Structure 1
Amino acid sequence: MHVTFHGATREVTGSFHTLTTDNDKILLDCGMFQGRRKESDEKNRVLEVDPQAITNVVLSHAHIDHSGRLPMLTGRGFKGRVFCTRATADACAYLLRDSAKIQEGDAAYLNYKTARNFLAKVRAGNVEARLSKAEMHEIGLTLKTENQYLNVPLIEKILRTNHLEIIEPLYSIQAAEEVLEYFEGVPYRHPVVVGRDLTCTLYDAGHILGSAIVVLQRGTGAQRRTLMFSGDLGRFGKPIIEDPTLQFAEEHRDIDLLIMESTYGDRLHDPVVDMKPALRRIVQETYARGGSVLVPAFAFGRTQELIYFLHELYMEGQLPKIPVYIDSPLATDITHVFGEHPETYDSDTHRTFLQNGRNPFSFEDLKFIHTVEDSMALNRDERPHIVLSGSGMCEGGRILHHLRHKIHDERNTVLIVGYMGQNTLGRRIQELGQAYEQGGRKGPAPILTFYNKEYPLRARVQTVGGFSAHGDRDEMTRLVRDSNLRIKKIALVHGEEEQSLAFATYLREQGFDVTVPCHGQSISIN
């Protein structure tokens, strides 16, 4: 049998690999590439494996860069099952619908711009003519309904009639809902048959709720061959969920090939024990300035960890009683999923909250924002508060509205608590804010451009690296060095090239046989 690497090779997103035997083709993850719009669209529309040739899918966890293209499979003839943990299946019900909604919204807006610009050229009577903003606004209004929503049928009619390109979403909300019928939730450490003479067992990866290390095994005795796929590995000692597994069943200890993530292959995080004090300090300092804390937070995992820590700090009386807002419909839904899976919580969470009859994700000062109107009102609220909102990399969502209302005010803080991908607004905020701070905050504030406007970044920018859901170099190394595994070969994926190559060098120094595959490369397991 052999493994082929189709995605997340020398880059972070778009996890997509296949295990091929004489009888089966198993897809490991079906993730979406996330980055610049044009590059993302080009990569995501191409499925390099015929969905009809896939026997089954094994999904390591629910994050969109691992699950986001699953709805494309069923629309192209996939007939198998998607095996994952029960918590992952429940989370995907929300994440995939949200992804489809984003796809449809992005396509509708791009089509709107094409139709508006075409009508402007027609009105001007000259391709080179420029209309005023008022005239462009008037044209735009003709493409919207009375409630200011885009008139999608009219827009598409104009494009079709005039033979203009129509942008289609990767998949629809209906497709996202249909793929959920293919999910098969299984418990950790419970073997399931996923192909002819091929079994799958899931172990806790400690990354997010329901995340799994995948063990695929074929044959018995001397003919047995074992593939392990780490998925994304979490940190040790973080709250809510269990740490990454280090002790595996005897029959799963001899690993012929370990496909391992390398997101932070050359970096070390702040210690987990420093996360809560750092959060307390930043909130206290911002409150003393009369400002608010804006947290671009991933809806799945990061938001719930922050809720957990803030709840503890409020219980301990270590923070002023200022309101905490969750301004993300998806984060609200995912928080409910967390509440439905207490069987995945670690002992600290049981001891601190459950045994005392408390819900870790609910307290008096925590408020969930549901409507757009309430979100807009919060944008204008000048009183000190904490707001957690998506998207986590500031590439869309309600966090952009909070930023445009508050990043010009030096009383406020933008708190970075997770990985910011290359070429994202979040990365620019992080880098520009850090440079401005290191320069003593002298001279003009750096300028950020989004929503076609320029905004001075006067707000403080703070980073607390310990919140990352990915293990750092030393934590990832624990899987291969401190576990009971015996590993023949390691293939590093899911990391920017410099991170993967640096981690490969480090592991080789520890005595491991390591390769960093390129896109499309295959490795045989004999």
Structure 2
Amino acid sequence: MKITFYGGAETVTGSCYLVTTDTKEKILVDCGLFQGNKTVKERNYGDFPFNPAEIDWVLLTHAHIDHSGRIPKLYKKGYKGPVITTNITKEMCSVMLPDSGHIQEMEIERKNRKNLRAGKPLLEPIYTAADAEDCIKHFDGKQYNELIKLNDNISIRFKDAGHILGSAIIEVWVKNAQGSKKITFTGDLGGYEKPLVNDPEFLEETDYLLIESTYGSRSHDEDMTRAGKLEAIIEETFKSGGNLVIPSFAVERTQDLLFDLNKLVEAGKISPSSIFVDSPLAIAITEIFCKNIDSCDEETQDFGRTSGKCPLLINNLRFTRTAEESKAINKIRSGAIIISASGMCDAGRIKHHLKHNLWRSNSTVLFIGYQAKGTLGRNILEGASKVKIHGEDVTVNARIESIKGYSSHADQEDLLKWIGNITNKPDLVFLVHGELEESSTLKSLIEQDYQIETHIPCYLEEYPLSTEAKPLCLSHEVRDKEVDLDEQLDSLMRQFYSVGKNLISDKKYQETEELIKEIKKKLIS
């Protein structure tokens, strides 16, 4: 038996892990979009480094796009089987994946307009909204703690991961000639005593553990601290006569924020003139939350019973569904709280709100979620004085704030606590879904505190689980050189597009262009 790491290795996006059993069954756990810099995002467009038609089952930990976002492409490329997940994740994906397809169609349309003007070849989206809607028909929703038999050799079970509504830890039991082995995938783990969601369930035992490490070296603010910080930031912004713009992930983060805002409003601590949720996806997910309040934690259910309404619905809250309603928000000069997606500012309506507020010194941009390397959000958070939005340079004059307590990921203390509560510890831990610095810090602590062998896999690494064979992985030095070469190829392509047609025949130009593309494709695959 072996596991191959096709994403979520030394990075927080693109989660995708393939288990191949000794009897050649193939189980794919998650198939998410890569996000971040251009080199990483290119992986979304290339062919899969495996044959989708050979996959027997896809298991999905939760609905976030960095875990689910390439599933429609998987079907386009030949996958025929089911996507097995929780019922709520299935419901969320039914709106999230078509939304992702729509965004990709719009982005490709914009790029193709530029390519036409520049004489460059036209591009195709990774998948369309229609592709996403078609794939949802293959989703198979399950309950937590239901033992599911895939065949005579393989059984699975979903446990509550406490990350977002519907998120799951997936336990996989595989029988072979030597007996039975269990592999556990945490997906994204939540913290403890967080609003809305239940605490992550513990494990009794597992042989192998793949656990996330997003915050392997860091701690979050306490929930009480985050609410106090939010109140102070709102008060200061409104005193300055500006707006508060909050880039927020449509799933869980927006709902966490609405829950805190509702408590502040109910307590009379803030009185914003308007609170906008300007993201059709965030609106749809909020409505799914309101339908599934009985799946939330006790605090959320109690708050809803006391107020007599969904605890996410605030006085002065406005859902802006249309583009016209969204544009109208930018006429408001002060007193508004604008919550919009995407959370890393790389797509969606948030870019328009940043364009209209970043240059204003009396406005505030508040980050409440992780910002991956290479994203617009990361650039702003790290102090960029000027950023490019929709091709236009925008000066950053607004106050930039962040609150760590809104992360739906477990922090270092939570991760160690969760591992510590496994009754029979695993033989081997794989640290995934984390940048190398985070994973390395956590690795040292796991080995020090629990004496468990811990490994940080790299992209495309193949790790044998049932033999003494060594894993196959490129060194960091080699992969750093690959990234540098990729950037040089980008530069070469830009120069070639600008002068190539004037120097060589059309046929030779096309042949050379295809050769450069093929080299680049092989580099990132």
Q: Is 2:459 the partner of 1:519?
A: yes
Write the deviation string for residues 440-481 of structure 1: whole angstroms up to 9, x where unpaired. Answer: xxxxxx222222222221211111001011111111111111
Q: Secondary structure at the match of 1:415?
A: strand
Aligned to 1:133: none
Q: 1:352 aligns with which of 278, 303, 321?
A: 303
2:472 alignment partner in structure 1? none
1:144 is matched with which residue?
Answer: none
Shift of 1:332: 0.7
Q: Which residue of 2 aligns with 1:383?
A: 334
Alignment-derived partner of residue 436 in structure 1: none
Structure 2 residue runs of 5 or longer lacking an equivalent are 467-525
Name which of 186, 191, 211 aligns with 2:142: 186
Q: Which residue of 2 aligns with 1:301?
A: 252
Question: 1: CA distance between counterparts of 2:40 and 2:75?
Answer: 24
2:500 corresponds in structure 1 to none
Match of 1:486 in 2: 425
Report the 3-state secondary structure (helix = DSSP H, G, I; strand = E; otherwise coil) of the residue aligned with 2:273: coil
Contact persistence 2:44–2:70 (CA under 8 A): no
Does residue 313 of structure 1 match 2:253? no
Residues 144-223 of structure 1: pairs in structure 2 closer than 5 A:
165-219=121-175, 223=179
Q: TM-score, normalised by structure 1?
A: 0.85
CA distance in structure 2 between the aligned counterparts of 1:456 and 1:103, rounded to whole angstroms: 27
Report the secondary structure of 1:505's partner residue: helix
Q: How far apart are 1:355 and its partner, in Å?
A: 5.0
Change (3 A) 1:333 1:40: same
> Deviations 1:407-454 (Å, cap 9, x if unpaired)?
222211111100011111111111117xxxxxxxxxxxx222222222
Shift of 1:221: 12
Q: What is the correspondence of 1:15-54 to structure 2 with a 5 Å cutoff?
A: 15-21=15-21, 22-37=23-38, 39-54=40-55
Say which SS state the counterpart of residue 365 (structure 2) adopts. Answer: strand
Is 1:263–1:500's contact at 8 Å kept on the other side of the alignment?
yes
Quote the Cα distance in structure 2 between the aligned partners of 1:97 and 1:43.
Answer: 16
Partner Cα distance (1:508, 1:387) in 2: 44
Query: Among residues 272, 276, 281, which one is paired with 1:325 in the alignment?
Result: 276
Equivalent residue letter for 1:177: E
TM-score, normalised relative to structure 2: 0.85
Query: Which residue of structure 1 aligns with residue 60 of structure 2?
Result: 59
Deviation at 1:371, TM superposition (A): 1.5
Q: Using the alignment, how far apart are the partners of 1:318 and 1:407 within structure 2?
A: 26
Which residue does the alignment assign to 1:467?
406
Query: Residue 370 of structure 2 corresponds to which residue in structure 1?
Result: 419
Aligned-residue offset at 1:347: 0.6
Amino acid at match of 1:49: F
- For the residues of structure 2 that align with 1:496 and 1:24, how far apart are their CA atoms? 30
User: Which SS does the other structure have where 2:14 is aligned?
Assistant: coil
Counting matched residue pairs gives 464
With over 3 angstroms needed to count, the CA separation of the structure-2 counterparts of 1:363 and 1:234, relative to structure 1, is same
Q: Pick from 181, 185, 188: which aligns with 1:225? A: 181
Task: Please tell me whether residue 94 in structure 1 is matched to residue 102 in structure 2.
Answer: no
1:374 paired with 2:325, answer yes
| In 2, Cα distance between equivalents of 1:324 and 1:520 | 44
- Tell me if structure 1 keeps the 8 A contact 2:272–2:336: no
Helix, strand or coil at the partner of 1:224: strand
> What CA distance in whole angstroms lies between the structure 1 residues aligned with 2:37 and 2:228?
35
Q: How many Å separate the matches in 1 of 2:36 and 2:45?
A: 11
Deviations 1:292-339 (A, max 9, x none): 110000111110111111011111111124211001111111111112
| 3-state DSSP of counterpart to 1:397 | coil
For residue 288 of structure 1, the aligned residue among 201, 222, 239 is 239
Matched, 1:395 2:354: no
- Whole-angstrom distance in 1 between the partners of 2:253 and 2:194: 11
Which digits, 9 at most, give the CA deviation of each residue in 1:168-227, with x for residues without a partner? 111122210111011011011011123442111011111111111110012399822110
| Residue 95 of structure 1: how far off its partner (Å) | 1.0
* Residue in structure 2 matched with residue 256 of structure 1 by the alignment: 207
Q: Which residue of 2 aligns with 1:441?
A: none
**Unaligned residue ranges in structure 1 (runs of 5+):** 119-163, 434-445
Taking the aligned partners of 2:383 and 2:304, their CA distance within structure 1 comes to 39
Task: Using the TM superposition, give the Cα deviation of residue 44 of structure 1 relative to its aligned residue in structure 2, in angstroms.
Answer: 4.1
Distance (Å, rounded) in 1 between the aligned partners of 2:44 and 2:254: 29
| Maintained 8 Å contact 1:32/1:44 | no
Of the three residues 420, 436, 441, the one matched with 1:502 is 441
Contact 2:272 2:337 in 1 (8 A): no
Matched-pair identity in %: 35
2 CA distance for matches of 1:271 and 1:488?
A: 33
State how far apart, in whole Å, the 1-side matches of 2:177 and 2:49 are: 34
Q: Structure 1: which amino acid aligns with 2:401? A: Q
Q: Counterparts of 1:89 and 1:290 in 2: how far apart (Å)?
A: 43
1:263 counterpart letter in structure 2: T
Paired residue secondary structure (2:137): helix
The one-character-per-residue Cα deviations of 1:359-394 (angstroms, maximum 9, x if unpaired) are: 112122111011111111111211311010011111
